[in-house]
Structure formats: structure tokens, C-alpha cells
Chains A and B, each alone.
Chain A
Amino acid sequence: EVQLVESGGGLVQPGGSLRLSCAASGFTSANYWMHWVRQVPGKGLVWVSRINNDGSDIVYADSVKGRFTVSRDNTKNTLYLQMNSLRAEDTAVYHCARGSRGPDYWGQGTLVTVAS
């Protein structure tokens, strides 16, 4: 069974940093592009970033470019999202998802709250 489980969310002050993880199981993550998608509670889905199979090609939404860094460790089947210079508008549930033609499987997400 494919599973994606995010962790690392929490409360952080504006300007702070947080690192999210996404543990994949039930498939070989090295065979798939992976994504981060965020969702403000009660609002819609917003794509954040995509990393290709080996991590050599990464794309970011303009809203996070220069502040967020995506990486992956295929030996651990884990995806990461390093978030720096966090702003109130980054408050959201962060989902990881897999797939190259639109995500097919998603995790339930981890909540990041940026507030003082």
C-alpha cells in the first residue's frame, strides 16, 4: 500500500525556519517525481514545488522561491522541505504527493503555523 506521511510541522515565529519530512512507503520513491502542495485550512490547494527522481531538477512556485528548498534522500525514501524566512502567509497544511502527470497519491499533510 502506498503511503506518504508528513512530519515536522508546528508553530514558528515569522522569520523562522522549519524542516518538513515526507516518509514514503509501499513504493520505490526513486522512481517518482515528488511534490509539495499546501492548503490554508478551509481554502484551496496550491502547488509549491516539484523535485524529479534524482533531485537534479527542482521547480518552485514564485511565492516560495529563494526561501524554500526541496530535497530528497532516495536511500531513505524521504522527501524534505526546508522552509526559511517564514511569513504569516505560509501558514498552511503541507502535503507531499507523488507523480509526474499530476499527483496520484498524497499524504494527509502537516500543519505549519507562522505566528508570533
Chain B
Amino acid sequence: DIQMTQSPSSLSASVGDRVTITCRASQGIRNDLNWYQQKPGKAPKRLIYTVSTLQSGVPSRFSGSGSGTEFTLTISSLQPEDFATYYCLQFNSYPWTFGQGTKVEIK
């Protein structure tokens, strides 16, 4: 199975901060990686697909980058509605695996 190591597990940030979350795959996954946002009690929402493509309707302050085994989600200027938990997902091979999640909290 491909392991997805996501870091940090949590972070505290202020509105307007730049936030970076990283996912490292245990083997190469080409560009088969998505990023999701989840708020308490809600369904996950896809933010970025295939590493860097922004989901329609998602603000442009979200961006994704990376290749091979290391991938990054960046929020350029954190907004109040961005406080949530973020997950990466690899769909290169089964079983699909998620990162452990990064909880973004208000400083």
C-alpha cells in the first residue's frame, strides 16, 4: 500500500497568513493526488485535483503543486472560512490512501 505522510498534523494561523501543507507519498504516484477540505459534520469538499487543478468554484487563494512523491497545498491568504481539516488523497493505486489530515485552527 502507498503511505501518505501529511504534515503538519495541526497548525495555528491568523487570518491573512500564508499556510503550506505537505503530503509525501511512500512511492511515486505521478499526478494522482487530490486535496480535500472538511469542516465538522460536513462532507469533504474537493479543492484541488491532479496535483494542481483548482476545482470549479474554489477560491484562487488555494493552490497545489508537486510531483512524484512530494506535494503541497498552499493557502496564500488564510480567510475565516478556511479553518477546517485538510486531507490529501492518492488514487494512483488501490487501496486509495489519504493523508492523516491537517487541522487548521485560529491563532
Contact = CB atoms under 8 A, between A and B. Distances in A.
Interface of A: 4, 35, 44-47, 50, 59, 61-62, 95, 97, 101-109
B105 to A, nearest CB: 15
B91 A95 contact: no
Nearest to B97: A47
Interface of B: 32-34, 36, 38, 41-46, 49-50, 55, 87, 89, 91, 94-101
Given A44-B101, A46-B98, A101 B44 contact: no
A47 B95 contact: yes
Interface of B is mostly: loop
Contact of A101 (B36, B49, B98): B49
Given A101-B49, A102-B49, A47 B43 contact: no
**A-B residue pairs, 5 tightest by C-beta:** A102-B34, A106-B43, A47-B96, A45-B98, A102-B91
Given A46-B98, A47-B96, A50-B94, A102 B89 contact: yes
Nearest to A61: B95
A59 B91 contact: no
A62 B95 contact: yes
